[in-house]
Amino acid sequence: MAPPLLNLDGIRLTFGGQPLLDGASLSASSGDKIALVGRNGSGKSTLLKIAAGMIEPQDGEVFRQPSATIRYLPQMPDMDGFASVRAYVEAGLGPADDPHRATYLLDHLGLTGEESPADLSGGEARRAALARVMAPEPDIMLLDEPTNHLDLSVIEWLEEELIRTSSALILISHDRRFLERVSRNTVWLDRGQTRRLDRGFGHFEEWRDQILEEEERDQHKLGRQIVREEHWLRYGVTARRKRNMRRLGELQTMRQRFRGHRGAEGVATMVASDAAESGKLVIEAKNIDKSFGDLTVVKGFSTRIQRGDRVGLVGPNGAGKTTLLKMLTGELEPDAGTIRLGVNLEIAILDQKREAVDPNETLSSYLTDGRGENLVINGEQRHVVSYMKDFLFKPEQARTPVRELSGGERARLILARVLARPANLLVLDEPTNDLDMETLELLQELVAGFAGTVILVSHDRDFLDRTVTSIIAPDSEGRWIEYAGGYADMLAQRGGSKLDDRKSRKAANGQASAGRSEPEAPKAASKKLSFKQKFALESLPKNMEAVSTSISRLENQIADPAFYERDPHGFQKTIAALDKERATLTALEEEWFELEMLREELEG
């Protein structure tokens, strides 16, 4: 086993009350791809910051290989003092790092590099921070929610980049599909302590459930043993004559263990408040159009949404998902075409910006709209504290100001308020943001079992596959197509082609920048290769040669007849590495061939 580049052992940290980290451990060696998982508020981000050297633990050992480079992706990047995004990204490069790598990453993340940091949206700042972390190809990347604010095509591109990278990775993410694809190891942070599984996230839930079942069984056995010992102390013949002090001491120890046991975190209970049944037809759109200046967002779209349908809207950032959603729910008028809403509709909306919340308002007041201590859920009056418990809030938090909540707690609070409103049409815009895995599972069950109709916007492929009955996705030039089934079904119906976001992102960037500066006149079609294409044409032959050399070396290794007998496991690893290198060579050759044909065509 390779020596660790990073090793945290026995880490302890307390912010008053129960310890946040109580003997936690985390180590990463070269090539490790670790999913760090746990409930919201369990200390995942704190442990990652300790690994990055941003927080000092109160106890425990921290070792970082002196020669190793470590880069950390924060949830809120600080870009003060940089004139442009490119300057911010290139500031993360070392003297020997390739500056072209920064250009490559910015392009794939939908940025030019010339943007002013002060003008970036939260999503754009996040993508810039991701480019800065990845550009130097460090020994270890510590990534806290890297897929936040990324659209589907960029998430899929990022997956491939992280799968191919030689950097060790420690990832925090709520995107199950992303973790399943990228991770090879899983570290579970639970009640201040860590457990490690040397398999990817796809095996985590079965492993976690087995541990919790064993823990519950052990706790039950301990309780039974305490009862037996107490019975002996009261009624045993020996006990009547003389107390056995050793046995009494053991009983006290068992009682302390039993009382001090921190059970598994509770499970949220999510139930949407039902309204009266809507009509069979919920929404009908006929040939609707919507444009903003020269940008056509929706063109000639028609659909019929009926009671019980669960419709997912997907597409790149800026493609017009929220605009289409607002038109379908009657909030925005189309430029042309008609929208007809069904009868008896009661709509509950969770928007992407998470409605304005007064940071000084208490949780109790926010949930009840300041109308006392009770609310009505499904026709029954419930005390606000009882309802808060369904969403994993403690009774003492009823008077807590919203400003003191973590991001995940705030997401749960807003969701609790939306679900308290009677509705037969749920409209959810990015509902999975900031939710932990367990709460996300319950939201999936709620959406899949909701008696009314659901329209949701999401970049979470796993969530879409588990909940929706159809997908609406953009095609080109404002045209949208509806596909039966979930996200995977949509890809199959498209012949495996993924959503191409580049035109949409550039259009969105143009629309956003129009509010900041005078729009530029459209440029003539390019008659020459772009900088990126030229760079690729120059570098691809060298890359192909390097991969070919690697293939030859691996083929020579497996040609040794004694290799398998000497090291069967190493032989299988070499075979897998050879297959991967051959696939890489094929991809490089195809890319070079396409660019070469394009160059010949442009040069006439």
**pLDDT (tens digit, 9 = 90+) per residue, 300-324?**
999 999 988 999 999 887 788 889 9
SS (H, E, C) 398-451: HHCEHHHCCHHHHHHHHHHHHHHCCECEEEEECCCCCCCHHHHHHHHHHHHHCC
Residue 292 domain-assigned?
A: yes
371 shares its domain with 460: yes
450 shares its domain with 588: no
**pLDDT (tens digit, 9 = 90+) per residue, 204-248?**
988 988 888 888 787 777 777 767 766 666 655 454 445 565 656
Which two structure tokens, joined as six digits, stand for 445? 């069950």
> Can you tell me the distance from the alpha carbon of 482 to that of 475, in angstroms, rounded to the nearest whole number?
10
438 shares its domain with 570: no
CATH number for 592:
1.10.287.380
Q: What is the CA radius of gyration of the chain?
A: 28
For 450-508, the DSSP string reads -SSEEEEE-S-HHHHHHH-SEEEEE-STT-EEEEESSHHHHHHHTTTPPPP-HHHHHHH
Residue 393 domain-assigned?
A: yes
Which two structure tokens, joined as six digits, stand for 530? 């772009």
pLDDT for residue 356: 62
Catalogue the long-range contacts made by 26-31 (C-beta closer than 8 Å, 24 or more residues apart). 26/51, 26/170, 26/187, 26/194, 28/4, 28/140, 28/168, 28/169, 28/170, 29/1, 29/2, 29/3, 29/4, 29/5, 29/168, 30/2, 30/5, 30/139, 30/166, 30/168, 31/2, 31/166, 31/168
pLDDT for residue 21: 92
200 shares its domain with 213: no
Q: In terms of residue numbers, what domain contains 378?
A: 281-510
Residue 520 domain-assigned?
A: no
Query: If DSSP codes are grouped into helix, strand and coil, which group holds residue 348?
Result: strand
Query: If DSSP codes are grouped into helix, strand and coil, which group holds residue 112?
Result: coil
pLDDT for residue 517: 35
Cα dist from 144 to 48, 54, 183, 440, whole Å: 8, 14, 14, 18
Q: Which of 187, 206, 225 is the last residue of a domain?
A: 206
- 10 Å CB burial of residue 222 (0-12, 13-18, 19+) is middle
Per-block mean pLDDT, blocks of 10 residues, the chain (604 long): 87 83 94 91 90 93 94 87 93 88 91 90 86 94 89 89 94 92 94 92 90 80 71 56 57 62 55 69 93 90 92 86 90 92 86 68 87 80 85 84 78 82 86 77 81 89 90 88 90 73 42 36 48 72 83 82 79 82 78 73 66
pLDDT for residue 381: 84
Residue 515 domain-assigned?
A: no
Which two structure tokens, joined as six digits, stand for 248? 């009494």
404 shares its domain with 453: yes
255 shares its domain with 363: no
Residue 516 domain-assigned?
A: no
350 shares its domain with 493: yes
212 shares its domain with 201: no
9 shares its domain with 151: yes
493 shares its domain with 596: no
Q: Give which of 305, 374, 35, 387 is closest to 177, Cα–Cα.
A: 35
373 shares its domain with 426: yes
Question: Whole-prediction pTM value?
Answer: 0.67
Q: Please, what sign has the CA dihedral across residues 443, 449, 453, 455?
A: positive
CATH number for 37:
3.40.50.300
SS (H, E, C) 164-225: HCCCEEEEECCCHHHHHHHCCEEEEEECCEEEEECCCHHHHHHHHHHHHHHHHHHHHHHHHH
Residue list, annotated binding site for ATP: 38-45, 315-322
Residue 268 domain-assigned?
A: no
pLDDT for residue 521: 35
Work out how many domains the chain is built from and give that number.
Answer: 4
- Residue ranges of alpha helices (H) inside 300-339 are 321-328
30 shares its domain with 109: yes
Q: Do 555 and 547 contact (CB within 8 A), yes or no?
A: no
Residue 160 domain-assigned?
A: yes
**pLDDT (tens digit, 9 = 90+) per residue, 519-547?**
333 333 345 666 667 767 777 788 888 88
Residue 429 domain-assigned?
A: yes
Residue list, annotated binding site: 38-45, 315-322
Q: Which of 206, 225, 241 is the last residue of a domain?
A: 206
